[in-house]
């Protein structure tokens, strides 16, 4: 039976998971504390209610029949957009309409692994190392690879996300790195790359359960995911290095992602690592530390 790994993001100077429970999480990003929903937090909270009430902002969902909608209740008027240091990079933080803030801290170990993979390849091969990052969002994986010396093609269907990613690159001192920022539908882009004969050393994807491309192309993971992965396999180089799939909202098992990548082992060798992405709560004296599950990953590498 395949061993499932657990990647753990721990507290750092600019990020902490302070508490979680009853469907919510309390996090510190730099100088500001945010409270937002998290369906995985099925347990009881540990901090007092008064500690939660001190949050600078709280994301509220209205689900009554009389009122529907959701949004941030900002308690600290000085909070707008700010930056944090995380994983050796800098990120602009901004609460969005979908409860996100521009960074997924649970990806810390994945980004470290990508940096190590790129550096290892660069040390043994003078050829350029090229990475494709699909559904690239605000650029965490892109910047990790670029910092390590890779050429990166960053694809996202949101113009706002790409602008945000470029800002993060500037903040991180990576604006001059060889990154191509592509506003496009992921499936359409990969189809054209096949026709162009473009090849990559590594591919990263973090597909949402549902979404839209820049031309309102519909993405449904249950309908389009497998075909996209199979097309991506066609644009790997003859001796590729890795293929990383992340997931946080579709309800699939990491083992399902592993099964999709098995053909890479059969063709190129290497191995597959699968597991969960988690964040460790800040330690409380006399309490066992808890992990908040935040998603899954499957990574083939050689």
Q: Are residues 158 and 279 in the same domain?
A: yes
Residue at 100 is within a domain? no
SS3 annotation, the chain:
CCCEEEEEECCECCEEEEEEECCEEEEEECCEEEEEECCCCCCCCCCCHHHHHCCCEEEEEEECCCCEEEEEEECCCCCCCEEEEECCEEEEECCCCCCCCCCCHHHHHHHHHHHHHHHHHHHHCCCCCEEEEECCCCCHHHHHHHHHCCEEEEEECCHHHHHHHHHHHHHCCCCCCCEEEEECCHHHHHHHHHHHCCCECEEEECCCCEEECCCCCEEEHHHHHHHHHHHHHCCECCCCCEEEEEECCCCCCHHHHHHHHHHHHHHHCCEEEEEEEEEEECCCCCCCCCEEEEEEEEEEEC
Instruction: Give the residue from 37, 61, 93 where a domain finishes.
Output: 93
Q: Which domain holds residue 69?
A: 9-93
pLDDT by residue, tens only, the chain of 302 residues: 568 999 999 999 999 999 999 999 999 999 999 999 999 999 999 999 999 999 999 999 876 444 556 899 999 988 989 999 999 999 999 999 989 999 999 999 999 999 999 998 866 565 689 999 999 999 999 999 999 999 999 999 999 999 999 999 999 999 999 999 999 999 999 999 999 999 999 999 999 999 999 999 999 999 999 999 999 999 999 999 999 999 986 689 999 999 999 999 999 999 999 999 999 999 988 889 999 999 999 999 99
pLDDT tens-digit series, residues 189-230: 999 999 999 999 999 999 999 999 999 999 999 999 999 999
Residue at 151 is within a domain? yes
Residue at 3 is within a domain? no
Q: Are residues 125 and 255 in the same domain?
A: yes
Q: Are residues 236 and 118 in the same domain?
A: yes
pLDDT at residue number 61: 83
Q: Are residues 81 and 109 in the same domain?
A: no
Instruction: Give the residue from 40, 64, 93 where a domain finishes.
Output: 93
Residue at 142 is within a domain? yes
Give the CATH number for residue 181: 3.40.50.150
Residue at 88 is within a domain? yes
Q: Count of domains in the chain? A: 2
């Amino acid at each position: 039976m395949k061993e499932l790994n657990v990647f753990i993001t721990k507290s750092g100077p600019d990020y902490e998971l302070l508490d979680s429970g009853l469907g919510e999480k309390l996090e510190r990003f730099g100088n500001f504390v945010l409270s937002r929903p998290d369906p995985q937090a099925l347990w009881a909270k540990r901090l007092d209610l008064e500690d939660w009430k001190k949050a600078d902002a709280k994301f509220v969902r209205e689900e009554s029949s009389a009122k529907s909608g959701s949004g941030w209740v900002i308690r600290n008027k000085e909070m707008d957009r700010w930056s944090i240091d995380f994983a050796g990079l800098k990120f602009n933080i901004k609460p969005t309409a979908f409860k996100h803030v521009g960074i997924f801290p649970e990806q810390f170990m994945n980004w470290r692994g990508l940096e190590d993979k790129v550096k290892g390849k660069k040390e043994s091969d003078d050829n350029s190392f090229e990475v494709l990052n699909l559904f690239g969002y605000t650029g965490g994986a892109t910047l990790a690879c670029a910092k390590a010396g890779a050429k990166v093609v960053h694809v996202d269907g949101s113009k706002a996300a790409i602008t945000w990613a470029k800002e993060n690159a500037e903040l991180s001192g990576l604006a001059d790195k060889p990154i191509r920022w592509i506003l496009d539908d992921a499936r359409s882009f990969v189809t054209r790359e096949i026709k162009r004969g473009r090849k990559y050393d590594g591919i990263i994807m973090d597909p949402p359960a549902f979404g839209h491309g820049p031309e309102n192309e519909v993405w449904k993971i249950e309908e389009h995911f497998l075909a996209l992965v199979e097309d991506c396999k066609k644009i790997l180089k003859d001796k590729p290095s890795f293929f990383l799939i992340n997931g946080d909202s579709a309800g699939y098992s990491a083992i399902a992602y592993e099964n999709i990548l098995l053909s890479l082992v059969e063709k190129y060798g290497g191995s597959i690592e699968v597991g969960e992405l988690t964040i460790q709560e800040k330690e409380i004296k006399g309490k066992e530390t808890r992990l908040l599950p935040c998603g899954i990953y499957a990574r083939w590498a050689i």
